[in-house]
Structure 1
């Protein structure tokens, strides 16, 4: 290889020299370094935390519950009308939606946002749920609480029990609508868990995704028209829930959900200067930077057993997905535990073991039932001895 040597002289005695080959090698190293630096920079920009005005906020994946963004997520705050997410799901789970519910004087005269119930007015529970979650009726909340729980106080106990059940451990509800009450507090994390639970109910999900609803108005020649307080339902093609809230103590709050390419995210912003912008910022951040990866498919063959000289397949009873930042990967460890007391016959779909899935930090991600993929009958010799045993039992 030929190396060119150049020598320069400047103003008499000052001179310097360099090899062209050395320059080329240096430039090559520089370009490699620059490419690597830009790659890192681009990834840093892609995953840079979004800026929101909310004092507390969270973004989670609805299916897995993974946290994709967090800001003061365990800070206890007044939730305002986001409280009604819990009220709504309890009404759906504990009542018959066709039931007729009569509003008490207490319910009719509850202050704040209202669907204008009158004392002794009767609506179906279904209509009250729409009034609760779409128009954010405080009167509808009290009517539901009294009907389902017997009283506001007893219904609040139901709310708190359900909160513990779904993992909202820092939440205390004192009423069904979120009007200011000392000690009525929750967190962004807890609201995300409550919303995640509620959105698994198809009717709840349908109601909170409805921009406008007509319900009856007894005593009037026209119906009530309920316009959803969640303006994102008409401002975005992907938003499909959930609930707004506002009091002076809580500030402006919004629990929002959105679905894109069969991937649903839930955001919560509390005491925000702009709930619409903050929520869309979080949701778009999630969709732009994260992807859902299927780790185990429902019905996937996971293990084989030798039963009665035949192979029995064990399949996953449900699917397992995981959310990753785009361009990244995860190492999954799978641990299979098989029951020790398996006996014939085996029914198709019988649970015979567990599949535990761990991440690279040995944290448990999920545990999936392993079920038989076919029926396995008893052996002829076992059937013979069982028949003999049953005959003998007749005489004792």
Structure 2
């Protein structure tokens, strides 16, 4: 087999250019912070993002996504004695009270109910210890290397949950892929009519003050300070922001989002529907299965190159992988996509005959 490499520049397909977000000189008030692109995982802004800190009730993002993935939202859950030990922010569940798992999740995420969180954890994990093991296992799977969970609530008087802004962005990015999660955290008001009437307003004020906010979770303890993990979408960009120990968290995150939306655009670098490469050997029969988009500044758009590597094969089947295309921003590889060949079966006399009947 003979291998050769062809370097070429792909045409960048530009999205709509935002003109409503001014560029901000950030005055970041958080001890740790980050803005991450949800699709690609690219960090658009960070400050001390790998510094371990207490995370308070943003812990409940993990509790929520685990419950969604491992439970039936329509299940009826009975409140057990675990609720008697809860303090701080609660939705005031009573011993023996029954509520669906779905309603408990809304109470936990909108009102930050510690009692709801511990009831959920006991129901899903059968006991608190097992559920905490599930939390740490999921954190490991997501890549949260600097995170340790010791309870499902974020209370830190006796047990401490530590993470980083970067790790919490990874968790938010992961949870955002789940439609049920997005629906819960994006809800501003929720009503439960069961054994008791509950009306919960979302404590995440960013949903009211920032037009592009789509959800998130607040947190506070005297030791952790104010913590906030949110998501926002504008002009094709879905972003998540994290601020830890930030007394001005809402305004700070608005400015962080405005900075990101003002400076970055989602650019289509590889388009699977318009992947055209002149090659005599494969005769324009190669293709890719996925498009690739990436957030770039205007200056960076001039620094993107693609490198196509193809391998000549004598025996080919339809769908064989015959190479790869690598995408570089300056000298850093940001993506790799396999390249396939299409081999159309030659039509026989019988194929033509079948078409007649």
Q: TM-score normalised to the size of structure 2?
A: 0.82
Structure 2 unpaired stretches of 5+? 1-21, 349-357
Q: Does 1:355 align with 2:325?
A: yes
TM alignment of 1:79-228, pairs within 5 A: 79-107=55-83, 109-180=85-156, 181-218=158-195, 220=196, 223-228=197-202
| Structure 1 residue 244 displacement after superposition | 0.3
| Structure 1 residue 159 displacement after superposition | 1.1
The 3-state SS of whatever aligns with 2:34 is strand
Distance 1:279 1:123 in 2: 34
CA offset digits 1:62-100 (Å, max 9, x no partner): 211111111111110000000111111111111122222
Query: Are the counterparts in 2 of residues 298 and 318 from structure 1 also a CA contact under 8 Å?
Result: yes
The 3-state SS of whatever aligns with 1:134 is helix
Query: Are the counterparts in 2 of residues 304 and 313 from structure 1 also a CA contact under 8 Å?
Result: no
C-alpha change, 1:182 and 1:302, in structure 2 (3 Å) is farther
2:210 alignment counterpart: 236
Distance 2:56 2:310 in 1: 46
CA offset digits 1:290-317 (Å, max 9, x no partner): 222111124443568999xx85734332
Query: Are the counterparts in 2 of residues 57 and 72 from structure 1 also a CA contact under 8 Å?
Result: yes
1:8 alignment counterpart: none
Query: Are the counterparts in 2 of residues 103 and 117 from structure 1 also a CA contact under 8 Å?
Result: yes
Query: Are the counterparts in 1 of residues 306 and 325 from structure 2 also a CA contact under 8 Å?
Result: no
Q: Which structure would you say has the larger RCO, counting Cα contacts within 8 Å and 6 or more residues apart?
A: 2
| Structure 1 residue 106 displacement after superposition | 0.5
Distance 2:264 2:68 in 1: 33
**How many correspondences in the alignment?**
325
C-alpha change, 1:63 and 1:290, in structure 2 (3 Å) is same
1:66 alignment counterpart: 42
Query: Are the counterparts in 2 of residues 159 and 173 from structure 1 also a CA contact under 8 Å?
Result: yes
Query: Are the counterparts in 1 of residues 121 and 152 from structure 2 also a CA contact under 8 Å?
Result: yes
C-alpha change, 1:304 and 1:194, in structure 2 (3 Å) is farther
2:234 alignment counterpart: 260
Distance 2:35 2:107 in 1: 27
Distance 1:146 1:202 in 2: 24
2:27 alignment counterpart: 51
C-alpha change, 1:304 and 1:237, in structure 2 (3 Å) is same
Query: Are the counterparts in 1 of residues 121 and 131 from structure 2 also a CA contact under 8 Å?
Result: yes
Distance 1:230 1:143 in 2: 22
The 3-state SS of whatever aligns with 1:173 is coil
Q: Does 1:292 align with 2:292?
A: no
Query: Are the counterparts in 2 of residues 302 and 316 from structure 1 also a CA contact under 8 Å?
Result: no
Query: Are the counterparts in 2 of residues 294 and 321 from structure 1 also a CA contact under 8 Å?
Result: yes
The 3-state SS of whatever aligns with 1:191 is helix
1:21 alignment counterpart: none
Query: Are the counterparts in 1 of residues 321 and 338 from structure 2 also a CA contact under 8 Å?
Result: yes
| Structure 1 residue 119 displacement after superposition | 1.7
| Structure 1 residue 171 displacement after superposition | 0.4
The 3-state SS of whatever aligns with 1:321 is strand
Query: Are the counterparts in 2 of residues 255 and 266 from structure 1 also a CA contact under 8 Å?
Result: yes
2:19 alignment counterpart: none
The 3-state SS of whatever aligns with 1:154 is helix
| Structure 1 residue 355 displacement after superposition | 3.4
Structure 1 unpaired stretches of 5+? 1-45, 381-396
Distance 2:280 2:108 in 1: 56
C-alpha change, 1:159 and 1:314, in structure 2 (3 Å) is farther
CA offset digits 1:255-313 (Å, max 9, x no partner): 12111112122111111121111111101111112222111124443568999xx8573
Distance 2:243 2:148 in 1: 19
C-alpha change, 1:144 and 1:47, in structure 2 (3 Å) is same
